[in-house]
């Protein structure tokens, strides 16, 4: 059974960097999957952040691209998210998930997320 577990600080200062890690068990991060981050502000909907392949290839949400870095650590079977220059708008539950992702056109992907981690709440406050 594939399981994903997010970890990282639950509190980040404004203008600081949010750093989270997702540990994967039950599947190898080297397999033919993408690994993704999604966030959800309290009481709001879901927002895709980006994804990474074991080769290091990444795709990011254009609205966050300038502030986001997703990286992978194959030796630890985990991947990570860094979001810099955070503001209160970045406060959310952050989920990691395994993704199936196939590019059809530059703007169109066959992409779905399963399974998901339980999520971790990140608050932005001084």
Contacting residues toward other proteins, per CB under 8 A? 38, 45-48, 59, 61-62, 95, 97, 100, 104, 107-119
For the chain, the maximum distance between any two Cα atoms, rounded to a whole number of angstroms, is 43
**CA proximity to 29, closest of 71, 74, 66:** 74
Closest distance to other proteins from the beta carbon of 73 (Å): 22
Residue 51: burial class (beta carbons within 10 Å; 0-12, 13-18, 19+):
buried
Cβ nearer to other proteins, comparing 45 with 75: 45
Cβ nearer to other proteins, comparing 79 with 95: 95
Cβ nearer to other proteins, comparing 15 with 123: 123
| Matching residue, tokens 């949400």 | 61
């Amino acid at each position: 059974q594939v399981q994903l577990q997010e970890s990282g600080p639950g509190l980040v200062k404004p203008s600081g960097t949010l750093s989270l890690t997702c540990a994967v068990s039950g599947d190898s991060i080297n397999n033919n999957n993408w690994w993704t981050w999604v966030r959800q502000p309290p009481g709001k909907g879901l927002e895709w952040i980006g994804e990474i392949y074991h080769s290091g290839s990444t795709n990011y949400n254009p609205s966050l691209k300038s502030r986001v870095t997703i990286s992978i650590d194959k030796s630890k079977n985990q991947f990570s998210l860094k979001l810099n220059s955070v503001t209160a708008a970045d406060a959310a539950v952050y989920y990691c998930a395994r993704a199936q992702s196939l590019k059809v056109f530059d703007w169109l992907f066959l992409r779905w997320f399963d399974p998901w981690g339980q999520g971790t709440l990140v608050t932005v406050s001084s």
